[in-house]
Chain A
Amino acid sequence: MGDVLVRVPISEQDPKVRATNFEEVCLGYTEEEAVEEAGRCLNCKKPMCVGGCPVSINIPAFIEQVKERNFERAYEIISESSALPAVCGRVCPQESQCEGKCIRGIKGEAVAIGKLERFVADWARENGIKPKNTSTPNGHKVAVIGSGPSGLTAAGDLAKLGYDVTVFEALHEMGGVLVYGIPEFRLPKDKVVKAEVENVKALGVKFEKNVIIGRSITIDELMENEGFEAVFIGSGAGLPMFMHIPGEQANGVFSANEYLTRNNLMKAFKEGYDTPIARGKKVVVVGGGNVAMDAARTALRLGAEVHVVYRRSEAELPARAEEVHHAKEEGVIFDLLQNPVEILVNEEGSVRGCKIIKMELGEPDASGRRRPVEIPGSEYEIECDTVIMSLGTSPNPLISSTTVGLDTNKKGCLIATEQGATTKDAVFAGGDAVTGAATVILAMGAGKTAAAAIDEYFRNK
């Protein structure tokens, strides 16, 4: 037994090796390691970690079962609260949620709750354990729009309450941002995402792909013609934002969404797939969030020298610390306190470089972070052939513009109560469609809350 203040280290692929492949970075705990790490949990009477979890997993209870080597029971406990534990164990920002609240973290390192969750979920999958649905059908039909984290969570919870749930997905694969956005090396698609979707199917949820709500069929038609009595909209974030600087239309300028979709969903990096990708020799990624890290690390794996250009300092990087750490280990270069002002274009209309200005931090702005201010005369040019814009997204107008009575706010996000009720009767919403781009787990939390609200709606009907 090691030092109880220090967590059991997790094995990862060597940074030099993984920078050249799309295999998963983190290899996960072995049974022995998981049991040892679980032993560090103090099993607090008033567990702070649970309060930090947007889906309120009974963390001490499942860790207790890991300690006892009852991995199946541990999985059952997690499954009561989460439909996607293998996903959450990989992509949740645990350091600011469950682990951020862990008492162990005061004196030493917090218990590796995320890694333990991942271990339990992976163990269950490898041993063919599926979540169970013991409810009796209640005869009510609910439509869920979008098969991303919020949709899958809402669908799973509603199915467990006995509802007849159909999930509609616009793309050709289930999982939303989990398949098009998050790269294979952080979240394996076949092994993890497909398996989690199968688990939701095992609860009785039906799935229909290639259906665009608002185009293939409207929400009103779903309710009037197909017998759905309530709808949950988890359609995710929308159009990518650009900087509106000169040269932005040049060839070689991508939104992070396009770059990642070509790679993750369309598997452009893989031999045998038709979708092309501009690999780039020298790539500038603009932005500092998780999506920027994903784009940068993808470009690196496709063989490029990669610079992340971010206008604030390292302390303000919105990406998870672990992602930044991994990116640095792999060789991504961070150009901090800098911002592009122009994209330089060659005669063929392709990117040949980027004009960048240096920044300093001024007074805090509305977000509470110190506002970056340009340093006059500090512009310099960097040579590159690809620029990836990772500045966030603005809401997709498709559903709101085709549904009468569904109101949006000034930013174009759907208006919904804390419980997920929209301005239209029997229509609920959650995740990025309501909040704008956020994290997987927050979307799951919204899906969970909305599922409870939908159940409440039927009870009061």
Chain B
Amino acid sequence: MYPILKKEKLSDKIFLMVVKAPRVAAGCLPGQFIIVKIDEEGERIPLTICDYDRAEGTITIVFQTVGASTERMALLNEGDAFADFVGPLGQPSELCLEDELEETKKKSIVFIAGGVGTAPVYPQVKWLKEHGVKTTVIIGARSKDILFYEDEMREVADELYLATDDGSYGFHGNGCQQLQALVDSGKKYDHCVAIGPMIMMKFVCLLTKELGIPTVVSMNPIMVDGTGMCGACRLVVGDEVKFACVDGPEFDGHLVDFDQAMARAKQYKTEEGRALLKQQEGDTHHGGCGNCGGDK
């Protein structure tokens, strides 16, 4: 079992947990992810590593409730434990490799985090700070009350910009518009990392392609085993089919076929929604999802 040492509610639907998982903490690097499974009946949920403490043997995860299993995860508290917690999975971020450090130091890097994507951006920025690399970070969110990790990010980023769609905090606009504004004001970037919802990453990539800034995105497709066995997480990158779990999760954003990836991500929407409704409605479930016709 993998005990939860700390739980924090970051916004209405976003939760942070610090989990004891010594083997994962010993070997992980920024950019990698874990798979968590709440109990026997739970799904295998892939989540990017948000922070790690090798000495304590802990991993920090941040998740948003989207389906039955994440809803149940949100009900867990400090002292509870996950049945399964496996990782690190996937390739570490290329920016956070010691061998490349001299090259990385020459770059002017901008991170764009969207929503819950702030979590996987944090360990990369932190790692770069620890290795003497300056970064610019833009956090975009719909509104102020779903922004999180502002203070933590301020500590590790050289420059931090906050953008809200509704203008309730910081720049009035989305992350793309904030980036455009910064470029317009004369800032120059030669590497961009965008992590967030697929639609946001798609629009960042359209912009950075125009601006000529190479861009890396972290893909979060549907995944089952996460070890390179089931093929559920396949994506089209350039002319090739890639598997996010072993080839990724980070890819050249200008080569990713986002439209296809977004269509695939919707694959289980009905089933996911159904599982959630069933759980919320329990015995009173009557098929309100309009699909299953209720349980016999």
Q: Give A contacts to B, CB under 8 Å.
A: 170-172, 180, 209-212, 215-217, 236, 238-240, 242, 244, 249-252, 254-255, 257-258, 261-262, 265-267, 272-278, 348-349, 393, 396-398
Given the known inter-chain contacts A276-B274, A278-B268, please indicate yes or no for A255 contacting B231, CB distance below 8 A: yes
Interchain Cβ contacts under 8 Å between A and B, 17 examples:
A170-B86, A172-B44, A210-B23, A211-B86, A212-B89, A212-B227, A215-B88, A216-B24, A217-B27, A252-B267, A254-B231, A261-B224, A261-B229, A274-B42, A274-B68, A278-B268, A349-B264
A261 to B44, CA, bound (A): 11
Q: How many A-B residue pairs have CB under 8 A?
A: 124
Report the 5 A-B pairs with minimum CB-CB distance, sorted nearest first.
A276-B271, A349-B263, A255-B231, A258-B230, A210-B86
Find chain A residues with CB under 8 A from B67 CB.
274
Contact A216 B27 (CB under 8 A): yes
Is there contact, CB below 8 Å, between B234 and A249? Answer: yes
Given contacts A258-B224, A258-B231, A266-B224, contact A251 B86 (CB under 8 A): no
Q: Which residue of B lies closest to A271 (CB)?
A: B295
Distance of A254 Cα from B32 Cα, bound (Å): 25
| Closest-CB distance, A367 to chain B (whole angstroms) | 24
Could you tell me if B230 and A261 are in contact, using CB atoms closer than 8 angstroms?
yes
Partner among A172, A240, A249 whose Cβ is within 8 Å of the Cβ of B84: A172
User: Of residues A236, A272, A348, which shows the largest number of chain B Cβ atoms within 10 Å of its Cβ?
Assistant: A272
CB <8 Å contact, B274 and A255: no
A254 to B272, CA, bound (A): 17
How many angstroms between the C-alpha atoms of A393 and B87 in the bound complex?
23
**Does B43 reach chain A (CB closer than 8 Å)?**
yes
**Is the pair B264, A398 in contact by a Cβ cutoff of 8 Å?**
no
> Given A249-B236, A276-B271, A239–B231 Cβ distance below 8 Å?
yes
Residue of B26, B72, B275 near A276 (CB, 8 A) is B275
Q: How distant is the Cα of A172 from the Cα of B115 in the complex, in angstroms?
A: 30
Q: Which of A180, A250, A277 contacts B271 (CB 8 A)?
A: A277
**CB-CB < 8 A to B43: which residues of A?**
266, 274-275
Whether B275 and A257, one on each chain, are in contact in the complex, defined by CB atoms closer than 8 angstroms, is no
- Secondary structure at the B interface, as helix, strand, loop or mixed, is mixed
Q: Does B189 contact A (CB under 8 A)?
A: no
Could you tell me if B267 and A257 are in contact, using CB atoms closer than 8 angstroms?
no
Whether, in the assembled complex, B289 has its beta carbon less than 8 Å from a beta carbon of chain A, the answer is no
Chain A proximity of B290: nearest CB distance (Å): 16
Whole-angstrom CA separation of A257 from B227 in the bound complex: 12
CB neighbours (8 Å) of A210 from chain B are 23, 84-86
In the complex, whether B97 has a CB less than 8 A from a CB of chain A is: no
B197 within 8 A of A: no
Instruction: From the candidates A217, A242, A257, A278, name the one contacting B241 in the complex (CB within 8 A).
Output: A242
Report if A257-B230 is in contact (Cβ < 8 Å); known contacts: A217-B27, A276-B272: yes
Chain A nearest Cβ from B266, distance in angstroms = 7
Question: What is the CB-to-nearest-CB distance from A350 to chain B, in angstroms, rounded to a whole number?
Answer: 8
Picked from A180, A216, A244, the residue with its CB within 8 Å of the CB of B88 is: A216
- Would you call B26 and A239 a contact (CB within 8 A)? no
Q: With the chains together, A172 CA to B227 CA distance in Å?
A: 12
Contact residue among B69, B83, B229 (Cβ-Cβ distance under 8 Å from A239): B229
Residues of chain A within 8 A of B89, CB atoms compared = 212, 215
13 more CB-based (< 8 A) A-B contacts, given A170-B227, A274-B42, A278-B268: A180-B225, A212-B89, A215-B88, A216-B24, A216-B86, A217-B27, A251-B267, A266-B44, A273-B41, A274-B72, A275-B43, A276-B275, A398-B246
Residues of B within 8 A of A261 (CB): 224-225, 229-230
Contact of B27 among A215, A242, A274, A275 (CB under 8 A): A215
Do A398 and B230 contact each other (CB < 8 Å), given the known contacts A216-B86, A216-B87? Answer: no
Q: Among B69, B83, B229, B272, which residue has its beta carbon within 8 angstroms of that of A180?
A: B229
Q: Which residues of B contact A254 (CB under 8 A)?
A: 231-232
Alpha-carbon gap, A108 to B263, bound state (A): 56
B88–chain A nearest beta-carbon distance, Å: 6
**Chain B residues within an 8 Å CB radius of A266:** 43-44, 224
Within the assembled complex, what's the spacing in Å between the Cα atoms of A265 and B224? 10
> Using an 8 Å CB-CB cutoff, how does the interface string of B74-92 with A read, 1 for contact, 0 for none?
0000000001111111000
Cα distance A348–B264 when bound, in Å?
10
